[in-house]
Copies of this chain bind each other. A is one copy, B any other.
Amino acid sequence: MKARIHVSLKPGVLDPQGKAILGALESMGVDGVSDARQGKLIELDLADTDPDAARARVDDMCRRLLANTVIETYDIDLSE
């Protein structure tokens, strides 16, 4: 089973990488982009076969290691 974890900065937290992307797009002449945010994508290969158990385990990993829940939010996508 594979887990795809999206870790994003909470709204209001300064995001210099996102600002750099927005500035670069503008300097390239790309318009119509009003905001850009950069987060992390973490992909795990899991031995679990039960989706509920896998989700609980990945949630635990996120809280303990993968995300800083003071400034970041995360969501988990599971697939076979």
Contacts and interface: CB of A to CB of B under 8 A. Distances in A.
B21 A48 contact: no
Within the oligomer, what is the number of copies of this chain? 2
A32 B57 contact: yes
Question: Helix, strand, loop or mixed for chain A's interface?
Answer: strand
Interface residues of A, number: 33
A28 B60 CA distance: 11
Interface in A42-70: 42-48, 57, 61, 64-66
Nearest to A4: B6
A13 interface: no
Interface of A: 4, 6-8, 18, 21, 24-25, 28, 30-48, 57, 61, 64-66
